[in-house]
Amino acid sequence: MEEKDWEQQLKSGGWKPLEAPKPPDYIERRKKKDWIVKAVPVISVIGWLSAFVSLSFLDAAQPAKETFWSSIYSVRIVSFWNPLMLQLSLIMAVEVFLVCLLGFMFNLMRHRRKTDRFSKSILILWPLSVFYIAYLLIRFGYLIF
């Protein structure tokens, strides 16, 4: 495609961002997006929010670190991990895994045409959740169970 054609296509608003250009003989038979197609971005957002909450629980489970003020005033520092917060972090990580699995299944159900795309967000978050669950079980398994 020449540069003039490209600029003209952009000015006319022909292509939407993150949408592949359709072939000229393509006939769109879908009148509107069905609930499965609409659910995939929502599931992706839910997955990322759950991952953030899970990491927040892991941060809250850490033992307190000694600071300048705690050493001056001889404040006793708790030096162990909070098992309840570790359990909540693991539960949320499993939820992230299941939500991503559901989103991936929805993507597979609607992935029949050349123009249909997989959600990159779900494809990134799913293996991250698997590695995070493995990390929690290996590193803190004795505290969680």
Is residue 143 within 8 A of residue 86, CB to CB? The reply is: yes
Provide the pLDDT for residue 76. 83
User: For the chain, which residues make up each domain, given as ranges?
Assistant: 35-144
Helix 35-61 / helix 83-109 crossing angle, nearest 10 deg: 160
Does residue 13 register a pLDDT over 90? no
Does residue 17 register a pLDDT over 60? no
Q: What is the DSSP string of 104-139?
A: HHHHHHT--STT----HHHHHHHHHHHHHHHHHHHH
| pLDDT tens-place string over residues 41-97 | 899 999 999 999 999 999 999 988 888 888 888 888 888 899 999 999 999 999 999
- Cα pseudo-dihedral 129, 133, 135, 139, rounded to 10: 160
Does residue 106 register a pLDDT over 70? yes
Q: What is the DSSP string of 69-104?
A: HHHHTTPPPP-S--HHHHHHHHHHHHHHHHHHHHHH
pTM, rounded to two decimals: 0.71
